Amino acid sequence: MKILFIDPPFQRFMGYHRFYYPLGLASMAAVLRKRGHIVKIYDAEHSRDAQTLSWAQVAEKYELYPQALENDSHPVWEELRTVLKEFDPDLIGISILSPKVKSASKVARICKHFKKGIPIIAGADHPTIFPAETLKDPNIDIVVRGEGEETMVELISHLENAQALDTIAGISYKEKNEIKHNPDRELIGNLDDLPYPALEALIGFDTYRPEDFGAIMASRGCPFSCTFCGIFNVWTRKTRFRSPARVVAEIQMLHDRYGVNYISFRDASFTLRRDFVKEICQGIIRSGLVIQWECLTRPDLLDDELLTLMQQAGCVTVRIGVESGSEEILVYMKKKTELDGIRAAANLLNKYNFYWSAYFLFGTPPETKETIQQTLDFIKEINPPFVTLSIFDPIPGTEMYGELEQCGLISADEGWNMESNQRFRSNYVYAMPADEFENTMKEVAAFVEDLNKKNSARLGLRDGRLKA
């Protein structure tokens, strides 16, 4: 069967270079290619002309997204039509995050118009949480809930053989105008059984940089319960690890086959298990690989010994979720970290001269002018080389989303095209008028942008993923 996976466009409309490629789609493509299917991935977020933009620059251009949704002749939609014509798929799978719901719906409509009756399957975070709502779209036929590799293999086999779908775990589907939900599928037991992501399946493969192929997941899942984060929606709170040897072998493969010298571990908390990280580092050192790499983790999961070994193995960048300089907000988020612990982590990272990025999330419901100022003061105090800024956007399935839903401030029937953490405006701050919050965040964004430029120049350090 000829299968086309699509990551709908969103940030591309703002001219933003989205780092990496749709890793989940490439993993499913690899599994299906092993079974003889012809699989292509249309990464509609990718463009060789896109630029590295700051958060503020993207926020200033956000209106280009809803405008593109209304423009049937937009070059990106024309590009999709060309892809459909040239590949002529038998089945289409669309990955949907909540901010992309409207884009995904337009993609599905264009695909059905191209070939009436073609099965269209939706997956990823949003359909997993809202399968029934997703299936209200007349152009979407089936939802794959949760982890997709094993479900897609079984589903496509049934579709090829015109078999009933009622025995396939992990899907929701339409049958005679009725939406049916099959039981959940168990998580994959051994992640080492999965093949490496199928990079060659990417349409326009030669337009990607080696740095764009450096994304790796060494584990899936996150045991923490931060009330704003939806990473558990697909991977759950159970953390599963690949073997360190398999991870190092993938790095070696990416380096040798694709010229990748910069690796980004996309795990929710890479240093969650110290011995696991130490084995990966030791494996990289033993292999003689000369690479640089980065990871995302929590400030309370770092220490001298681990950072020393990570640096010896080529780690140059650590990204940590700080989120706020207000103890009150951190408690509300259930971060289970304290400001003193964050200070200690910042001192360690500065001690070892890491290019580290601190993530801050503004605009949760109890945010005030005072808590925003506390966060700005804290940023100045810990002085990270780079600050990554975002605005709270309620993610379906999270505790904060549930709170807003109970208050009647959001629902599954949202328009979604104006829901994103890359907008100045928020409708979810209880203690500040929306206009005041928007103006404040423009000031915050200007402060952060200026700070990032000054610190990068002062330290002579640079994000290894950036476009030249």
Render pLDDT for 56-105 as a digit per residue (tens, 0 to 9): 787 888 899 889 999 999 999 999 999 999 999 999 999 999 889 999 99
Report yes or no on 421 lying in a domain: no
- High-pLDDT (> 70) share of the chain, %: 96
Total structural domains within the chain: 2
| Ramachandran region, residue 314 (left: φ > 0; alpha: ψ -120 to 50; beta: rest) | left
pLDDT at 417: 57
Q: What pLDDT shows up at residue 461? A: 62
pLDDT band at 453 (very low <50, low <70, confident <90, very high): confident
Lowest pLDDT segment from 156-165, 268-277, 445-454: 445-454
Q: What's 315's domain CATH number? A: 3.80.30.20
Position 409 in a domain: no
Residue 204 lies in a domain: no
Task: Determine the average pLDDT of the residues in 318-339.
Answer: 95
Question: What confidence score (pLDDT) does residue 40 get?
Answer: 98
Whole-number average pLDDT of the chain: 92
Domain extent, residue 296, equals: 209-392+428-459
Please state, in angstroms and rounded to a whole number, the distance separating the CA atoms of residues 327 and 331.
6
Residue 463: the pLDDT is 66
The CATH number of the domain where 91 resides is what? Answer: 3.40.50.280
* Same-domain status, 342 and 305: yes
Q: What pLDDT sits at residue 61?
A: 85
Residue 186: inside a domain, yes or no? Answer: no
Q: 218 and 176 in one domain?
A: no
HSE value, Cβ hemisphere, 13 Å, CA-based, for 71: 13
Of residues 258 and 234, more confidently modeled: 258
Record the pTM.
0.93
Q: Which two tokens stand for residue 301?
A: 């999961």
335 domain residue, yes or no: yes
Residues 234 and 161 in one domain: no
Of the candidate ranges 15-24, 70-79, 250-259, 320-329, the one whose mean pLDDT is the lowest: 15-24
Comparing 21-25, 124-128, 454-458, the range with the smallest average pLDDT is 454-458
- pLDDT score for 413: 66
Q: Is the same domain home to 103 and 166?
A: yes
Out of 88-97, 102-111, 414-423, 459-468, pick the least confident. 459-468
At CB < 8 A and 24+ separation, what contacts does 248-255 make? 248/280, 248/283, 248/284, 248/287, 248/289, 250/196, 250/216, 251/216, 251/284, 251/287, 251/289, 251/291, 252/287, 252/289, 253/196, 254/213, 254/214, 254/216, 255/289, 255/291
Task: Label residue 412 by pLDDT band (50, 70, 90).
Answer: low
pLDDT in tens, 169-198: 999 999 988 999 999 999 999 999 999 999
Please give the share of the chain, as a percent, with pLDDT higher than 90. Answer: 78
Q: Are residues 307 and 432 in the same domain?
A: yes
pLDDT at 109 over 80: yes
